[in-house]
Amino acid sequence: MTMPSGVASTPTVRVPRALSSPVRGGRAAARAVRSTAMRCSVSRVECANGCGARGARGGRDHEEALRRLGHANASLSLGASVRRDRATITRVRVRSNATHVAASSAKASKPRLPALDSIRFFLIAYIGVGHFIACATKNALTLASFSQVNVVVGAFFVLSGYVAAYTTTELGEYEAQTSRLSPSPKYVVSRVMGFYPLYFVVNVLFAPMFFYADSFYNGPVLAAVHGLMTFTLTQAWFPMHAELWNAPTWFLSAFAFALTAMPFALPPIAKFKRKDLRNAFGILVAISLVAKLAYSYDVAAWGFMEGIMSPKTHPNWLYFNSVRFSPLNALIDVLMGAVAARSVMIDSASGESVPKTNKLLACSATPLVAMIAFLAARALGIVAINDALSRTVFTILFSMFAVNIHRETVSSEQSIVSKILSWKPLVYLGTISFPIYILHGPIGQVFYKRVVANKLFGKVFTQHPEFFPVYCLITLVAAAITHEVFIKNKKVQEISNAVSAKLADVLTNN
């Protein structure tokens, strides 16, 4: 959990002033003819004066076209230098090939999407607060408002898939960047190693605390087994033990599995036309709903709000966990994000354009307000839908938001929402969101896990609700320091890259 003005378009070629004035001649006119011929050749569009010179024809065709448009004075004034200029134009044609490649590369360059960085911070801030809000208040409305973590986490999977597709498929083309996705072990290892070093170090640093607390309840043998599951990122496959040690990191376990499918899923998704993408998104939503409808029906859990329920008050906690922690369900959310990203990336493809839609629906504020209103409606009891079904609703709304904010960010006129989310302080908070995510659980256990806090302080800080903002500040500062000292550390990056390359080589050659 390691992020964009419009897509570059081919510029209109305009005839230089030297060609539009009969009093400008000699060398200036010669340079102008050569420049115009080259630019017409490179851009593959008509001259702005309508001369009709296209593509590789340039040169003589352009000169003749200029005569037809009444520019003969400029070209005739070249006199004896015409032959030399034609030879120069021939050389320009050769150079124009390289220029055209550069132009194509510039056209395909991907602008940065800072708004997605910022929104990542807001997501993790909500989840981080939600994990420990019960330690700070007993107010029912506040608890219901911030305990919908099982719903919001779906947006994280969607965002991860969105970024994966954006970074590994071509902009304005129906193809994937095979060099980044193949061989598949290299892609998977590189992505996992993007988050595993910090995950590993934090688990090692807090291992004494994790092991002590786990042993207190389950004994040292099971604690060791749970440690093994944690370090191997397999905990999400065990519904009743997914939240081991650093509980929130079950997400990384499920996401690691989703990554193994991406090298095989992204290339065909990249080939989808707009209609195919719409169909694919609809199918993914249907698959997502089937498992959650089955859970809701079998357990009669239609109106549950599992975020504020305990395992003892739920009729089948194992069933619920198998739905919310499922790596397969996580993969569906990730693929939804990938499909959503492609729907924007093909806006600049040949024969495509930004779909015409109602301005209200195309505004990023609309799905943003809808997401907040949906969570508020559940908290107030206006909408009674369980966490599992609500996660699918939320992922659909978040996909719409990501698509709209993406289009707004790359457009010439940004919306207020995209401007706010592109604000540098918010973007920075987005860049430290992963350390926040990794650290908020262990730091929270230090102060709020009964067996740990009593051992360290002789009390649990739930006795002091006013301490909760301090806990949040400690987590934020620790995350910023971790980002600057560890994640940005060149030595750490070198070691990570070396390990990644070695593992990829072993997995590729065996």
Buried b (16+ CB within 10 A) or exposed e, 176-203: bbeeebeebbbbbbbbbbebbbbbeebb
Structure-block tokens of residue 2? 């390691």
Mean pLDDT, residues 305-334: 92
**Do 108 and 177 contact (CB within 8 A), yes or no?**
no
Residue 460 sits at φ, ψ, to 5 deg, of: -110, 135
Tokens encoding 476: 């934020």
**Residue in the structure block whose two tokens are 């390359």:** 501
- Which residue in 462, 473, 463 sits closest to 439, CA to CA? 473
pLDDT, tens digit, 9 for 90 and up, residues 195-225:
999 999 999 999 999 999 999 999 999 999 9
> 451: how many CB neighbours lie within 10 A of its CB?
16
Nearest 5°: phi and psi at 386? -65, 170
3-state secondary structure of 303: coil
Kindly report which listed range (51-55, 243-247, 360-364, 499-503) carries the lowest average pLDDT score: 51-55
Between helix 184-205 and helix 250-270 the angle, nearest 10°, is 160
Which residues neighbour 310 within 8 Å (Cβ) at sequence distance 6 or greater?
Answer: none
Mean pLDDT value of segment 82-95: 43
CA dihedral 95, 96, 97, 101 (to 10 degrees): 110
Tokens at residue 154, please? 């779906």
Which two three-digit tokens encode residue 484? 């600057």
Beta-carbon count within 10 A of 227 CB: 17
CA atoms within 13 A on the CB side of 19: 25
The two tokens of residue 209 are: 């605390």
State whether the Cα torsion 313-318-323-327 is positive or negative: positive
First to last CA, the chain: 28
pLDDT tens track for 2-11: 333 333 333 3
* 231 confidence band (pLDDT: 50, 70, 90): very high
The structure tokens 């993790």 sit at 124
| pLDDT for residue 74 is more than 70 | no
For residues 225 and 252, give the distance between their C-alpha atoms in angstroms, rounded to a whole number. 18
Cα 117–chain centre separation: 8
111-122 tens-digit pLDDT: 888 888 899 999
Extents of the domains making up the chain: 124-169+177-509
What does the pLDDT read at residue 108?
Answer: 55
Most confident of 43-52, 112-121, 167-176, 218-227: 218-227
Task: Please state, in angstroms and rounded to a whole number, the distance separating the CA atoms of residues 14 and 30.
Answer: 16
Q: What is the model's pLDDT at position 163?
A: 93
More confident residue, 271 or 38: 271
What's the predicted TM-score (pTM) here? 0.75
Summarised one tens digit per residue, pLDDT across range 433-472 is 999 999 999 999 999 999 999 999 999 999 899 999 999 9
Which range has the worst mean pLDDT, 141-145, 414-418, 478-482? Answer: 414-418
3-state SS class at 13: strand
Q: Which helix (H) or strand (E) holds 103?
A: helix 82-108
Confidence (pLDDT) at 500: 86
Residue 256: predicted pLDDT: 94
Task: Give the number of C-alpha atoms closer than 13 A to the C-alpha of residue 293, restricted to the C-beta side.
Answer: 7
Residue-level pLDDT at 402: 93
Q: What is the pLDDT of residue 69?
A: 40
Q: What is the dihedral of CA 486, 488, 491, 496, to 10 degrees?
A: 80
504: phi then psi, degrees, rounded to nearest 5: -65, -40
Q: Evaluate if residue 73 carries a pLDDT over 50.
A: no
Residue 288's pLDDT is 93
Query: Residue 269: pLDDT band by 50, 70, 90 thresholds?
Result: very high
Give burial (CB, 10 Å; 0-12/13-18/19+) of 319.
middle
Closest CA to 321 of 302, 298, 295: 295
Written as six digits, the tokens of 283 are 């199918």
